[in-house]
């Protein structure tokens, strides 16, 4: 392909892109997800607080009229003080015994309650009249305190530029090989709500699925988050049921997806998401929480045209930085001379372009047999190319290997 003309071939008229600016309007975002229990018995006050909470992303809140027996699933309790000195003091003392960070809201709070709150080191006391100005800042301070104590796994989403480009195969290979290369706890999330093929590709038995986790979100503590997934050594999989998107009743629980993802992020080292079906309303929180994107394309005009539309949707309408996007050219062949890697880089205006060589027979064997890529063939080319992607782009620590005797003499070989 003549690189001078390639952008004309894959340029898109503005009318092809759906304008969704209102849907992706940025909220104020906390640095880490917070689950907050709000103790408040007055309905009007609940409505006022809900309005403020809904302006903040990474925040999950639940109302109760008193402190429940069990509240360990929350990271913060907000105590709305209205009337009655003794119940409020008892609540503060009960929360303090469990070392639960607590925030007080109220106007003209009794001095005795304030003394009790200060004695038990509550996070802050905010008058109702100052909620709009102070609530977000105080929640941010609480979130930063939690963040200091926890490691948060980054999310890398793998998306087909065009359907059928091989994102699921690439995701399974990246997960399996990165788990072999390091000791980090790596999670694969199969977000293909149509077919959900990762379990078969990795030959993992799955009895628990993404929709099950969303149904039981409030029961999932740190131990349950790790044990609910299918696992092989340090590689875990949260699978999807085939055609799960057709169950409208289950789909209502996708409002909890962001909360579930944060629980996974806080209990693992790296999260890889298979978004082979592309952008979907149900799974958009995964996109918005991702720190990197790999868009899988092939060496043809149609694939590049659709990939360019995807990149424009991500960057223009969803606020995704182009610097976080990388391209993987799947089934790449040097024999196809009319579309080179340089052409693809210029057409998509993405600097970082990797490739995985064309070996359809090997890829089919991996998928059909559910066997690791490294064990299927003596031809290690694809394995080396996947390793190159991981070593150059993944935020994981890979132990350095001592070079062999022969590699010291003759030199090693890396995929480009």
Q: Kindly state the average pLDDT of the residues 192-209.
A: 89
* 231 and 377 inside one domain: yes
* 71 and 198 inside one domain: no
* 141 and 176 inside one domain: no
Provide the domain limits for residue 222. 155-410
* 297 and 203 inside one domain: yes
Q: Report yes or no on 237 lying in a domain.
A: yes
The CATH number of residue 240's host domain is 3.40.50.300
Q: Which of 126, 149, 172 is the last residue of a domain?
A: 149
* 160 and 113 inside one domain: no
The CATH number of residue 85's host domain is 3.40.50.2300
* 129 and 54 inside one domain: yes
pLDDT band at 414 (very low <50, low <70, confident <90, very high): very low
Q: Kindly state the average pLDDT of the residues 25-31.
A: 74
Q: Report yes or no on 202 lying in a domain.
A: yes
* 91 and 182 inside one domain: no
* 177 and 249 inside one domain: yes
Q: Report yes or no on 133 lying in a domain.
A: yes
* 396 and 271 inside one domain: yes
* 143 and 160 inside one domain: no
Measure CA 416 to chain center. 28
Measure CA 15 to chain center. 30
Q: Report yes or no on 23 lying in a domain.
A: no
Q: Over the stretch 282-317, which tens digit does the pLDDT of each residue have? A: 899 999 999 999 999 999 999 999 999 999 999 999
Q: Which of 87, 118, 149 is the last residue of a domain?
A: 149
Q: Report yes or no on 87 lying in a domain.
A: yes
pLDDT tops 50 at residue 212:
yes
* 124 and 235 inside one domain: no
pLDDT band at 140 (very low <50, low <70, confident <90, very high): very high
Q: What's the domain count of the chain?
A: 2
pLDDT tops 80 at residue 322:
yes
* 82 and 198 inside one domain: no
Highest mean pLDDT among 47-51, 131-135, 195-199, 370-374: 47-51
Q: Which of 117, 149, 181 is the last residue of a domain?
A: 149
Q: Report yes or no on 85 lying in a domain.
A: yes
pTM attached to this predicted model: 0.75
């Amino acid at each position: 392909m003549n690189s001078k003309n390639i952008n004309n071939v894959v340029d898109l008229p503005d009318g092809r892109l759906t304008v969704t600016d209102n849907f992706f309007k940025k909220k104020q975002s906390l640095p880490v997800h917070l689950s907050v229990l709000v103790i408040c018995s007055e309905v009007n006050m609940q409505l006022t607080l809900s309005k403020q909470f809904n302006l903040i992303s990474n925040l999950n809140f639940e109302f109760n009229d008193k402190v429940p027996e069990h509240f360990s699933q929350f990271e913060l309790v907000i105590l709305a003080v209205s009337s009655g000195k003794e119940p409020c003091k008892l609540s503060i003392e009960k929360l303090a015994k469990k070392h639960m960070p607590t925030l007080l809201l109220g106007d003209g709070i009794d001095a005795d309650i304030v003394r009790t709150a200060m004695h038990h080191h509550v996070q802050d006391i905010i008058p109702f009249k100052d909620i709009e100005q102070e609530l977000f800042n105080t929640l941010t301070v609480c979130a930063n305190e939690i963040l200091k104590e926890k490691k948060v796994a980054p999310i890398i989403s793998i998306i087909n530029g065009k359907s059928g480009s091989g994102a699921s195969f690439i995701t399974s290979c990246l997960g399996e090989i990165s788990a072999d290369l390091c000791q980090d706890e790596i999670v694969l999330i199969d977000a293909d709500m149509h077919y959900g093929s990762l379990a078969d590709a990795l030959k993992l038995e799955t009895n628990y699925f993404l929709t099950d986790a969303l149904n039981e979100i409030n029961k999932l503590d740190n131990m349950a988050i790790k044990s609910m997934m299918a696992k092989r050594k340090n590689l875990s999989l949260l699978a999807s049921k085939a055609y799960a998107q057709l169950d409208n009743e289950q789909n209502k629980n996708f409002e909890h997806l962001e909360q579930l993802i944060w629980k996974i992020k806080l209990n693992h080292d790296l999260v890889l998401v298979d978004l082979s079906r592309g952008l979907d309303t149900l799974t958009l929180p995964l996109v918005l929480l991702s720190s990197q994107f790999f868009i899988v394309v092939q060496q043809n005009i149609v694939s590049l045209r659709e990939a360019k539309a995807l990149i424009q949707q991500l960057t223009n309408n969803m606020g995704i930085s182009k610097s976080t996007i990388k391209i993987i050219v799947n089934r790449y062949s040097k024999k196809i001379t009319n579309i080179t890697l340089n052409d693809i880089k210029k057409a998509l205006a993405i600097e970082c372009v990797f490739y995985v060589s064309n070996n359809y027979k090997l890829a089919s064997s991996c998928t059909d047999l559910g066997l690791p890529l490294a064990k299927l063939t003596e031809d290690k080319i694809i394995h080396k190319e996947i390793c190159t992607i991981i070593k150059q782009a993944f935020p994981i620590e890979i132990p350095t290997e001592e070079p062999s005797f022969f590699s010291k003499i003759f030199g090693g070989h890396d995929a480009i």
